[in-house]
Structure 1
Amino acid sequence: MSESEDADSKTEEPTEKKIGDALERGQTAVSKEVSTFAGFLGLFLCLSFIYRASTGRLSGTLALLLENAGTVRISTGEDLARFFAYVGGEALSFLGPFLGLIAGLGIAASFVQGAPRVAFDRITPDLGRISPIKGWKRLFGVGGLVELGKSTAKIAILTGSLAFSLIVDRETLVNAMRTDPRLAPELILTILLHLTSVVCIVAGLLAGADWAWTRFKWRRDLRMSRHELKEEIKQAEGGGLVKARMRSLAQSRARKRMMNAVPRATLVIANPTHYAIALRYVREEGGAPLVLAKGKDLIALKIRQVAEENQIPVFEKKELVRAMYEFVEVDRMIPPEFFRPIAELIHFLSSRGGVQGRNGSMRMP
């Protein structure tokens, strides 16, 4: 199957699982233009709020160097080192905020587009990445041509914007050649502000368009064919079968514990084979009668069988057991509305001379 045919067959939107797997592999929708815009924005903010306050200091340093250029002694290596240390310190104090802000905004731009993840697939060695044939396809394929068109359009737009800005500021640039050198930093700062403001606007528009395109292309590349969608559904159903099996095992264990508790019952009420509820009541234990087990059909028959084997009285009370079945829960006391009929049964057992067995439950003589 060719690549075009394979792409045409992927008509279904990606599922949440497909998107999650892609993110785990490091396949995220990241636009380089957003990071570029963050860099230009950092430059503009520095020029607007930070460098304007630092321009006076830089102007003073430049004036000091120009006025005392003839007195600067550079006769030894130590003199040269001190000179470069001084100039480098001034340059670092001027450029440091810019570099820090650019780095911070670049990191923020990455976080905005997607939380960072450790994707070992992205750093695992792959010979296909250095294959000349695959590299040629990447360069001259559809994706490579799209990137080339985007880069060309970006360069053309930025170049045109800068040219327009320079034409507007041409008088300022001409007058700069006749300006006092001590005023040069302030003049340069003004020109750079104009240029970066234009570049920021253009870069912001490009970043928005590229981010939208990147997200669209990312979701398009994650589309699934009907066959892939059916296979994922089958796998999900397989997971559901496993969960159902686990629930079945849990219910089986619960039934086993319930049957083991039936010999401790005081009485069992049944209907006569469809429903059965085993109850325990011992005055010394306090509280209302406790439900030890309940069940329908085969489970009800099993409860009756265990009760008869342990000589526990079984009362066939059709209306009562039907009414109680939906409202009582295992290992909990019966609701108050059933106190009276159950108390009558317990009183009947006591009046017949029932005795307590070894486990404390009422036994028939």
Structure 2
Amino acid sequence: MAEQDSSAEKTQEPTSKRLEKAKEEGDTVRSRELNTMAILIAGSAALLMFGGLMIQSLAGLMAHNFVLEREQVLDTAAMLSHLNVSAMQGLRSLLPVFGVLLVAAVLGPIGLGGWNMSMKAVMPKASRMNPFSGLKRMFGPKALMELAKAAAKVVVVAAIALVIMAFNWERILGIMAEPLLPAMGHSLIILGWSVLAMSCAMILITIVDIPFQIQSHTQKLRMTFQEVKDEMKDTDGKPEVKQRIRQLQYQMTQNRMLSNLPKADVVVTNPQHYAVALKYQQGASTAPVMIGKGADFMALRIREVAKEHDIPIVESPTLARAIYYNTDLDEEIPEGLYKAVAQVLAYVFQLRQYRHKGGRRPVLADNLPVPEDLQHD
């Protein structure tokens, strides 16, 4: 059976339970190209936004470190203090760019697949140490896709870099003739826009990579038909168990119904195939309530209980079928049957009077008024 399952073709889409289990194990769809694109674009944009402040801060840092008094050079404590001040100033100048890069590094991975923290993803697995599995991954379709993406990145980025260099060639050469601070500012602008342009080239590669990663992740999690059936059994229960539960529930309902039958005022029969038990309590309900119904064997049991408790049995096939098919257990009869059932209850009341006091025996009308839309063959 295990060999059959392992060789079966995985044609079924992964179920929600399978996807949730994979997420718990840290197996979510990810795109490295999306992460790289987010970091490069965010970093180049931060360089353009905060570059001016960085240049001013770094220029002041250089002046602070290269303009020293003789006493400071010979004083070890003064040099350590100088180093501390320089490190803090340099960190403050780079902090805005580092902050933007940190945000991009966090948001990039969760842009596809969402946030997922799982220790199972970093746990050692024997399958990862298997050299044959490693060779299969190296020469598999995913590895070929990664190789194609790497080659595409080199070609696209190199082409854009050459175009940018050709477009800014004169500006690059003109930097050599500028003073230091303006030269640093122009260099930063050219560098920032060049990196941003080359980073935007990653958008094309990312657009191709994201559908591939989604399809590859779904393909990996696909299931065999037997796996789907086994999961349904584990989730919803085995069919034979569910059938047994339904049988027990049906039996409990029937037993409860039979225990309530002695409270009935009348039983209307087909006369043999159907039987319904009605109860009417004046003031407690607006209409008679059906407290029991059954067909064939259950109809026979209802008639037997009615005879044991001296409950009147009225034969009216049309009315019995109408009540049986249009009323649920412990519910009031439909409004269209009020008149017919009222005649039956009046007959039962007269029959009780006849049994106690005698006189003329009451007779029930043969054709009770049952609407055609409630009749059932």
TM-score (norm 1): 0.79
- Displacement of 1:32 in angstroms is 0.5
Aligned partner of 1:31 in structure 2 is 31
- How far apart are the structure 2 equivalents of 1:40 and 1:291? 75
2:212 match: 213
Quote the Cα distance in structure 2 between the aligned partners of 1:285 and 1:294: 21
Mapped partners of 2:126, 2:68: distance in 1: 58
Shift of 1:347: 2.4
In structure 2, distance between residues paired with 1:255 and 1:83: 93
Partner of 2:337: 338
Change in 2 beyond 3 A, CA 1:129/1:273: same
How big is the shift at 1:187?
Answer: 1.6
Paired residues for 1:1-365 under 5 Å = 10=9, 12=11, 14-16=13-15, 20=19, 22-48=22-48, 50-52=49-51, 54-55=53-54, 57-58=56-57, 61-62=60-61, 64-65=63-64, 68-69=67-68, 73=72, 75-76=74-75, 78-119=77-118, 121-139=120-138, 143-222=142-221, 228-229=224-225, 232-233=228-229, 236=232, 239-283=238-282, 285-353=284-352
The structure-2 alpha-carbon separation of the partners of 1:235 and 1:202, relative to structure 1 and needing over 3 Å to count, comes to closer
Residues 278-303 of structure 1, C-alpha deviations (whole Å, 9 max, x = no match): 11122253432222122222222222
Residue number in structure 2 paired with 1:360: none
Moved >6 Å (runs of 4+) = none
Give the whole-Å Cα distance in 1 for the aligned partners of 2:352 and 2:335. 26
Cα distance, 1:39 vs structure 2: 0.3
Q: Give, in whole Å, the separation in 2 of the partners of 1:317 and 1:72.
A: 122
Is contact 1:165–1:194 with CA below 8 Å preserved after alignment? no
Once residues 62 and 227 of structure 2 are traced to their aligned partners in structure 1, the CA distance between those partners, rounded to angstroms, is: 74
- For 2:294 and 2:203, locate their aligned partners in 1 and report how far apart those are by CA, in whole Å: 69
Computed over aligned residues only, the root mean square deviation of the Cα atoms, in angstroms, reads 3.4
Q: Note closer, same or farther for the CA distance 1:120–1:277 as it changes in structure 2 (3 Å cut).
A: farther
CA drift of 1:332 comes to 2.0
- Unpaired stretches in structure 1, ≥5 consecutive residues: 1-5, 356-365
Q: SS of the counterpart of 2:287?
A: coil
Pick closer, same or farther for the CA change 1:328–1:18 going to 2, 3 Å: closer
Matched residue of 2:111: which SS? helix
Distance 2:131 2:34 in 1: 30
CA deviations on 1:119-156 (whole Å, 9 max, x unpaired) are 56533431332344543444455544543443344234
The alpha-carbon distance between structure 1 residues 42 and 241, as it changes in their structure 2 partners (threshold 3 A), is farther
State the identity as a percent. Answer: 24
Residues 200-219 of structure 1: CA deviation (Å, up to 9, x unaligned): 22111122222233233334
Mapped partners of 2:268, 2:71: distance in 1 = 111
Q: What is aligned with 2:366?
A: none
Query: How many Å separate the matches in 2 of 1:151 and 1:212?
Result: 17
1:168-198 CA distance string (max 9 Å, x none): 3233333323322222442232112221222
Q: Could you tell me which amino acid in structure 1 is paired with residue 330 of structure 2? A: D
Contact 1:18 1:222 in 2 (8 A): no
Contiguous gaps of at least 5 residues in structure 2: 1-5, 355-377
Give the equivalent residue in structure 2 for 1:363.
none
CA gap of 1:302–1:175, structure 2 versus 1, over 3 A, is same
Task: Indicate how the Cα distance of structure 1 residues 308 and 91 shifts in structure 2: closer, same or farther if over 3 A, else same.
Answer: farther
Assess, with a 3 A threshold, how the Cα gap between structure 1 residues 257 and 68 changes in structure 2: closer, same or farther: same
Q: CA deviation at 1:35?
A: 0.2
Match of 1:294, SS state, is strand
Any conservation in 1 of the 2:65–2:82 contact (CA below 8 Å)?
A: no
CA distance in 2: counterparts of 1:72 and 1:138, whole angstroms: 64
Partner Cα distance (1:329, 1:196) in 2: 74
Please tell me the residue identity of whatever aligns with 1:39. Answer: I
Aligned partner of 1:14: which letter?
E
On the 8 A contact 2:45/2:192 being kept in 1, the answer is no
- Summarize the Cα distance change of 1:115–1:299 in structure 2 as closer, same or farther, 3 Å threshold: farther
Residues in 1 aligned to 2:349 and 2:215: alpha-carbon distance in whole angstroms: 79
Deviation, 1:258, is 1.7
Q: Distance in 2 between matches of 1:250 and 1:185?
A: 84
Q: TM-score when scaled to structure 2?
A: 0.77
Partner SS, residue 178 of structure 2: coil
Distance 1:71 1:296 in 2: 114
CA distance in 2, matches of 1:339, 1:55: 91
SS of 2:267's partner is strand
Give distance in 2, aligned partners of 1:185 and 1:303: 101
CA distance in 2, matches of 1:231, 1:325: 43
Provide the aligned length of Structure 1 versus Structure 2: 345
